[in-house]
Copies of this chain bind each other. A is one copy, B any other.
């Protein structure tokens, strides 16, 4: 377990739904195979864009099982065990490790108000009572707590955390995290979740990325990672520029916000690309339709994806 080193491109896998809100297994299989064929280095299931908080426990179990069956050891499988507080997160962690996950990803506790004492204790308990590497998922926009880099480095040094998935939007904090992690002997795998600025994160010293947009265009992120490994920063930037043009699927829609516009854009693009059979969203979110679908189609056409 201590030997698992997650690096490179690890997309957070989007989940396809059938019209009656069941997991659409054939679409899921197409999506996963398409990303592995494109050369991704791992897959992260049940992340924020992977419908984790929309899924019942039974559905979470089904997503993990199908994911592990489909991936079939071709790449490491990371599983999000996201829930409000420690005991609930532990339950998800036990299920995921029983089903065969390679690593677990947990946020700070949320809903109840607390401080860093509780955050630290939370990760320590997860480490003690679970048998897989734990990644801290730093996503203040959802959990309303920012994980401070000194705490992350400390927990990395002590072996409590194996890595960090950074979706904090705080590039200064991430820069310090990379630098201090390096000085500490690099105990943590540091992955950025910000698909638009992966280039800057790689220059900062990130070990990899978790780009949602790689569901739509995995090859570009794979090329960018290889260029970064080779120190070819002009190519890194050029790939990022190109991917960012595709990322405008996020902002060409109107009348929608948050998950409906973000993950909704991914699902709509995957549907238009023939990977998904529909763009159905989990309740209470509505699928994009009409002009919003056309606007996304235009972005894909303009960028040569369609």
Chain A interface (Cβ within 8 Å of chain B)? Answer: 21, 48, 53-57, 59, 82-88, 91, 109-115, 117-119, 121-122, 125, 141-144, 169-172, 175-176, 179, 194, 196-197, 199-201, 203-205, 231, 233-234, 236-237, 240-241, 244-245, 256-260, 262, 282-286
Q: A257 — which chain B residues lie within 8 A by C-beta?
A: 113-115
A197-B169 in contact (CB<8A): no
Tell which of B56, B85, B91, B203 touches A284, judged by Cβ atoms closer than 8 Å: B85
Q: Given that A55-B87, A172-B194 are contacting pairs, would A141 and B113 also be in contact in the complex, using a CB cutoff of 8 Å?
A: yes
The CA-CA distance from A142 to B143 in the complex, in Å, is 9
The CA-CA distance from A14 to B167 in the complex, in Å, is 33
Q: Which of chain B's residues has its CB closest to A109's CB?
A: B284
Task: Select the residue from A21, A57, A91, A259 with max chain B CB neighbours within 10 A.
Answer: A259
Q: A282 — which chain B residues lie within 8 A by C-beta?
A: 85-87
B175-A258 in contact (CB<8A): no
The CA-CA distance from A244 to B182 in the complex, in Å, is 13
Q: Given that A231-B234, A260-B118 are contacting pairs, would A203 and B194 also be in contact in the complex, using a CB cutoff of 8 Å?
A: no
A258-B169 in contact (CB<8A): no
Q: Given that A143-B111, A237-B203, A241-B179 are contacting pairs, would A283 and B197 also be in contact in the complex, using a CB cutoff of 8 Å?
A: no
